[in-house]
Amino acid sequence: MLFKDGSKLISADEFDNILKSSEIKNLSIGDNYIYLNTGSKYYKTAKITFEIQKLQNLPIKIKTHTNLGEIVSGIGVIILILIGMAVFLRALNLMIKKPSETPIRTLNQTNLFQENKSSETNNMNQPINSTVKFKDVAGIEEVKEELFEIIDYLKNPKKYQKLGISLPKGVLLVGPPGVGKTMIAKAVAGEAGVPFFYQSGSSFVQIYVGMGAKRVRELFSKAKANAPSIIFIDEIDAVGKARGGSRNDEREATLNQLLTEMDGFEDSNGVIIIGATNKIEVIDEALLRSGRFDRRIYVQLPDLDERVKILEVYLEGKKHQLNVLEVAKICVGFSGAMIASLINESALNALKRNSNFIESKDILDVKDKVALGKRKIRSFDEKEKNILSVYQAAKAISAYWLDIEFDKVTLMGDFILDVDKEVLSKSELNNKIKVYLSGAIALDIIFKEKYTHCVEDIKKATNIAKAMCEEYAMSKHIISNGNDVEEILSKALKEQREFLENTKENILLLAKKLFEKEKLSKDIIIEVSKNVF
């Protein structure tokens, strides 16, 4: 089609007139036609109808015409014949081939697959030279003390071997997500200056029989060849889950191989296994026994002093006007990872405000987003906003007078902070119950009505009362009954109602400010609340 002849077929007389009247660019004679090119158009006329002698006097060289279209179409026919023959021979070959040859091909493909998987495993088992040091990991002083002995052993093994002290085989780091378990393992490798092999527990869980156990063998072989070294298995509960129950032979075979490598006939001196999990209760007992994980280190959420140190690390190199201690106080329950996110989000918030410094305002603006995630902003009509303003204002005034920690009050959401205390008194728990009941009481006093949005606060108050009775023995009876919970709630309800009836004017004043601004700082609440009596 590309080389199709596009010349216009004309009569001999028309052809002769064009020869006489037009400038000729090219003239050629083929087997059946005479071809003419004027530069803008192509013409042809039948060779048998035109007198060839007329062309002899023209001042242009006459060429022999080559028809590329016919040549290419001929080649195309040959190619089609060859393809047809190839298809026929292939079909004939499949018809006469023996069935036994198919499994052989499948086996070869399986071998190739296993070779590829082996190559992939080798790439995954490459050691990492960690550059993380303990100075880069803040807020884990007690954990560092536990690990310094292991680091010293890796650096100076002969000192311990002279006294017959053997290297601990395993260290299990237990703690909630985000507390820095992976960073701790990297810091151990970085401080000791030894190769660091990282694997996640899920990487050993395979659907192919024997692949998980093979990966464990190869990992330990590589670590022994580079001893002294550290193997870190993150989320070890994925491979170390207790055997039995819902049976999984491949996972159990992988776990058995891990148990054998950690405490078998083969010597694994010079290799320390560090595991990390936040689900120690599901791990197989055989993996937890002494001789495998000799040390179990619990990494808890950071306390106040540790949060201060973590904040100082993440604020290093950032311009800010923050009281680090005050920020640490409002970050109760935050892990190290959450604090890192808090500082990063605060910096972004400052950038949006076109500010060169991170300020307390930025921390407060993003704290809830980091802790709870971004929620859809609801729209309320005037009546609903008024109800919510009164509800939150009553809780805020109650929290101030009952010494319950908070930093601000908003139109929606719980603004009461978790207390950073290990020991709480009965009075403190009673006061918290009163704060959670305050909103519903205030609505009943002012609007003479009950509303559905009180449900979350009522649940919290009930849960505190249940814990007081069932866990802390703070009710009348040592062995609590259902009446004790009701008695605690009823007494708190009665006492708080008397308080709120005397603060009705202050509640309405604060509610009006909250209705207008939708968010108030603690200073404004203190200013309104201190004039109650």
CA atoms within 13 Å, Cβ hemisphere of 212: 24
The set of long-range contacts for 66-72, using a CB threshold of 8 Å and a minimum separation of 24, is: 67/5, 67/30, 68/3, 69/3, 69/4, 69/5, 71/3, 72/2, 72/3
| Stretch among 246-250, 254-258, 271-275 having the lowest mean pLDDT | 246-250
Would you call 264 helix, strand, or coil by DSSP? Answer: coil
Strand partners, 408: 521
**Side-by-side strand order, sheet with 196-200:** 196-200, 229-234, 271-277, 170-174, 295-298
Domains and CATH numbers, the chain: 8-66 (3.30.720.210), 134-298 (3.40.50.300), 304-372 (1.10.8.60), 382-529 (1.20.58.760)
| DSSP classification of residue 168 | P
Residue 258 predicted with pLDDT over 50: yes
CA 314, 316, 319, 323 torsion: positive or negative?
A: positive
Q: What pLDDT does 108 receive?
A: 47
Q: pLDDT tens digits, residue range 346-390?
A: 999 999 989 989 998 888 888 877 877 655 555 577 888 899 999
Average pLDDT value for residue range 111-127: 55
Q: What pLDDT does 107 receive?
A: 42
Does the pTM surpass 0.85? The reply is no
* pLDDT band at residue 29 using 50, 70 and 90 as cut-offs: confident
Q: SS3 sequence, 381-419?
A: CHHHHHHHHHHHHHHHHHHHHCCCCECEEECCCCCECCC
| Stretch among 92-96, 242-246, 468-472, 519-523 having the lowest mean pLDDT | 242-246
Distance CA 28, CA 523 (A): 101
Residue 229 predicted with pLDDT over 70: yes
| Stretch among 19-23, 251-255, 389-393 having the lowest mean pLDDT | 19-23
Q: Which residue has the tokens 């093979």?
A: 214
Determine contact, residues 299/184, Cβ cutoff 8 Å.
Answer: yes
Q: What pLDDT does 100 receive?
A: 45
* pLDDT band at residue 132 using 50, 70 and 90 as cut-offs: confident
Q: What pLDDT does 389 receive?
A: 92
Q: What pLDDT does 68 receive?
A: 63
Q: What pLDDT does 105 receive?
A: 41
Q: What pLDDT does 193 receive?
A: 85
Q: What percent of the chain has pLDDT over 90?
A: 18
Structure tokens at 330: 């409002």
Residue 232 predicted with pLDDT over 80: yes
* pLDDT band at residue 336 using 50, 70 and 90 as cut-offs: confident
Structure tokens at 322: 């923050």
Q: What pLDDT does 128 receive?
A: 77
Average pLDDT value for residue range 135-155: 80
* pLDDT band at residue 414 using 50, 70 and 90 as cut-offs: confident
Kindly report the average pLDDT of the chain as a whole number: 80
Structure tokens at 149: 């002995």
Q: pLDDT tens digits, residue range 45-88?
A: 876 677 676 676 676 767 776 666 656 666 777 888 889 888 98
Distance CA 529, CA 533 (A): 9
| Stretch among 73-77, 161-165, 176-180, 373-377 having the lowest mean pLDDT | 373-377
